[in-house]
């Protein structure tokens, strides 16, 4: 009976909401246009020639030309693939380091009782307030002294360090949620703490690891300031740049070749978009998870 | 091996690498920044000339200007005396204030409207997030091209009915910060909407339905039930937005390098400009310390008054 009386109420409520449906779809449409159209503009304009662009900056390709994309992708002196490769190498290195060291530290904070535990957690949490821009000048001097300037490791190592706070903050509640009973059962079966970590905790925290991994990867892929100092000012040579640095360099160097810049910019968008489409749920989950602590 | 020392060993083994990386490459550089900031130093050669120190030690005093490199707070007074730096701080706060006043309500509004079962919701979520995943460099370059005179953006305004002359969006000192805010809004509003949508998932549907049945209008329901319950999400978004505004660098550096004539400089672009292009490490790190202290003070005040309840679990480490 109770169910029967609440159901019509719910439906009535919903139906009243439906009256505003056209407005909702309109808003959704505007939002989508606002986000997608600028991106589409860049991609489509990459199919025009510089001559077409010089005649009128805004316009439809007529005729469509693949020359720009072709040049960036397969031209003799193109650095696109080198730079995409460097970005991948640095992002993968960063991700591995962050996930491995992050989960180990989070394990200690989540599941060990010791005096300095809260202090350690607070130290990592405080890292959220240390932007890389504050540390960048001393950091670049340190890296120069260590001989890491201009090398991918010079980007990877600091990125691991700066990604640890977020990683640990996301992982600690995750590892804490794994029931104590599991650990006790493992102990009774003769497993050590370390065995428990490897054989039970790691497999169980898979989704959390994927989330922090995806976040670290995307942040590394998009990073600019650190590569700018380590690879750009560090004199690594353009073939060793990451993609963001490479696009920026290309756009300065070939600023007269607007069509080429448009094509390079479009192509530089693709990896992030592809990766994101594959990992969208994880990113969103990770961000909201991070926010909820 | 005793149980206790075994436990210590395990803690060291597991937490050691992370602590080493974090302290070595985050904490120490920040401490070094504070140290360098009281010297006049180009980053090359020894920061303090040892022979010179020996000379002063022999004389029995360090003197006010020992070795001409230690300058005390001179770098700080110099920063605050520089109108370019003061205006850079102003630009950070301009973005901060506009983000809170415009981006926040915009994102909440969009999220409230979209928080319902509708066709294509998954696709919408995906598309709305695109600007956020693009790197700031790529997004900035894209906008730089869109905003060229008579390019995409101007054509769009033509279509909307604004014929005639338009400003040169990124090249005019009076306009450039507004343009920057527009680009940043494009880049980050989707993220805010998604955060709000996630927050709205935590608001029980029964409450709004009960209010509806009691005759509350859609607006009243949102105003008195949904929004207060969305409070924690809004406060955390605001916190992220504040920190992001104070640390703004990539987008500005890519689109304008802080120009024209420093009219879009931020604290971070100013510090990179001095520290990197002009090789004034002492002065640059003083600016870094100022940037850090401003962020820290605002974060602490904000946490004390607004965020306390929401972050209690995360910050103190005692459960959620």
Q: Does the domain at residues B74-316 carry the CATH identifier 2.40.30.110?
A: no
Token pair belonging to A130: 């240390």
Are both A58 and A193 inside the same structural domain? no
Q: How many CB atoms lie within 10 A of CB A254?
A: 13
Which band of pLDDT confidence, cut at 50, 70 and 90, is reported for residue B58? Answer: low
Which band of pLDDT confidence, cut at 50, 70 and 90, is reported for residue A3? Answer: very low
Q: Any idea which residue has 């020392």 for tokens?
A: B5
Q: Which residues of B touch A135 (CB under 8 A)?
A: 25-26, 29-30, 33, 288
Which band of pLDDT confidence, cut at 50, 70 and 90, is reported for residue B21? Answer: very high
Dmax (CA) for chain B in angstroms is 88
* CB-count exposure of residue B252 (10 Å: 0-12, 13-18, 19+): buried
In total, the C-beta contacts within 8 angstroms joining chain A to chain B are 300
* Number of domains composing chain A: 2
pLDDT tens sequence across A167-183: 998 888 888 888 888 88
Higher pLDDT, B305 or A99: A99
Q: Answer whether residue B311 shows pLDDT above 60.
A: no
**For the domain that residue A281 is a member of, what is the CATH number?**
1.10.3720.10
pTM above 0.95, yes or no: no
- Mean pLDDT value across residues A63-90: 85
Q: Which residues of B touch A286 (CB under 8 A)?
A: none
Q: Answer whether residue A158 shows pLDDT above 90.
A: yes
Which band of pLDDT confidence, cut at 50, 70 and 90, is reported for residue A43? Answer: confident
Q: Which of B13, B25, B107 should one mutate to test binding to chain A, selecting the residue with the greatest count of A CBs within 10 A?
A: B25
Are both A200 and A102 inside the same structural domain? yes
Instruction: Output DSSP code: residue B274.
Output: I
Of B36, B110, B233, which is closest to A138 when you measure between CB atoms?
A: B36
CA A254 from chain center: how many Å?
28
Residue ranges covered by each domain of chain B:
74-316
* Mean per-residue pLDDT of chain A: 82
Are both A141 and A67 inside the same structural domain? no
Q: Answer whether residue B249 shows pLDDT above 90.
A: yes
pLDDT tens sequence across B160-217: 888 778 888 888 888 999 999 999 999 999 888 888 888 887 778 788 788 888 888 8
Q: How far is the alpha carbon of A272 from chain B, nearest alpha carbon, in Å?
A: 6
Structural domain including A52 reads: 2-73
CA proximity to B275, closest of B71, B95, B79, B92:
B79
What is the pLDDT, as a whole number, of residue B315? 39
List, as one string, the DSSP characters of B107-149: HHHHHHHH-S--TTHHHHHHHHTHHHHS-HHHHHHHHHHHTST
Are both A191 and A179 inside the same structural domain? yes
């Amino acid at each position: 009976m109770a169910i029967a009386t609440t159901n019509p109420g719910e439906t009535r409520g919903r139906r009243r909401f439906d009256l505003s449906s056209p407005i909702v779809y309109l808003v959704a449409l505007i939002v989508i246009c606002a986000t997608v159209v600028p991106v589409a503009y860049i991609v489509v304009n990459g199919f025009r020639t510089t001559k077409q662009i010089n005649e009128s900056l805004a316009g439809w390709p007529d005729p469509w030309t693949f020359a720009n994309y072709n040049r960036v992708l397969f031209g003799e002196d193109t650095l696109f693939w080198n730079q995409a490769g460097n970005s991948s190498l640095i992002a993968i290195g960063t991700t591995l380091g962050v996930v491995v060291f992050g989960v180990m530290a989070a394990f200690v904070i989540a599941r060990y009782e010791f005096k300095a535990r809260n202090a350690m957690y607070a130290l990592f949490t405080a890292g959220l307030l240390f932007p890389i821009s504050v540390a960048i000048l001393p950091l670049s001097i340190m890296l120069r002294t260590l001989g890491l300037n201009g090398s991918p490791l010079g980007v990877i190592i600091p990125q691991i360090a700066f990604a640890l706070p977020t990683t640990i903050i996301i992982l600690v509640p995750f590892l804490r949620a794994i029931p104590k009973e599991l650990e006790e059962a493992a102990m009774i079966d003769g497993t050590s703490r370390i065995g428990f970590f490897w054989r039970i905790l790691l497999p169980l925290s898979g989704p959390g690891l994927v989330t922090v991994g995806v976040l670290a990867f995307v942040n590394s892929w998009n990073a600019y300031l650190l590569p700018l100092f380590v690879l750009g000012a560090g004199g690594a040579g353009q073939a060793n740049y990451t993609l963001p640095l490479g696009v920026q360099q290309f756009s300065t160097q070939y600023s007269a070749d607007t069509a080429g810049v448009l094509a390079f910019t479009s192509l530089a968008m693709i990896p992030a978009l592809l990766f994101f489409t594959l990992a969208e749920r994880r990113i969103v989950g990770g961000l909201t998870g991070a926010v909820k602590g | 091996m005793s149980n206790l020392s075994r436990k210590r060993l395990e803690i060291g083994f597991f937490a050691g690498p992370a602590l080493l990386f974090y302290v070595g490459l985050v904490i120490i550089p920040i401490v070094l920044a504070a140290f360098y900031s009281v010297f006049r130093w180009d980053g090359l050669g020894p920061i303090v000339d040892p022979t010179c120190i020996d000379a002063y030690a022999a004389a029995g005093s360090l003197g006010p200007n020992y070795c001409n490199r230690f300058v005390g707070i001179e770098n700080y007074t110099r920063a605050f005396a520089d109108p370019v730096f003061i205006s850079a701080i102003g630009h950070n706060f301009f973005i901060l204030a506009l983000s809170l006043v415009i981006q926040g309500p915009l994102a909440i509004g969009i999220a409230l409207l979209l928080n319902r079962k509708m066709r294509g919701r998954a696709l919408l979520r995906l598309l709305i997030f695109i600007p956020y995943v693009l790197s700031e460099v790529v997004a900035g370059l894209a906008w730089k091209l869109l905003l060229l005179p008579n390019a995409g953006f101007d054509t769009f305004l033509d279509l909307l009915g604004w014929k005639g002359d338009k400003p040169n969006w990124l090249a005019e000192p009076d306009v450039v910060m507004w343009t920057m805010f527009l680009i940043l809004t494009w880049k980050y509003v989707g993220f805010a909407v998604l955060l709000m949508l996630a927050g709205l998932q935590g608001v029980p549907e029964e409450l709004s339905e009960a209010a509806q049945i009691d005759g509350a209008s859609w607006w009243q329901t949102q105003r008195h039930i949904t929004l207060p319950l969305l409070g924690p999400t809004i406060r955390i978004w605001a916190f992220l937005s504040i920190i992001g505004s104070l640390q703004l660098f990539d987008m500005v550096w890519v689109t304008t390098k802080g120009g024209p004539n420093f009219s879009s400089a931020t604290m971070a672009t100013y510090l990179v400009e001095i520290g990197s292009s002009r090789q004034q490490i002492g002065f640059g790190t003083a600016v870094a310390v100022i940037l850090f202290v401003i962020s820290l003070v605002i974060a602490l005040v904000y946490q004390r008054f607004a965020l306390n309840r929401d972050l209690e679990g995360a910050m103190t480490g005692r459960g959620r």
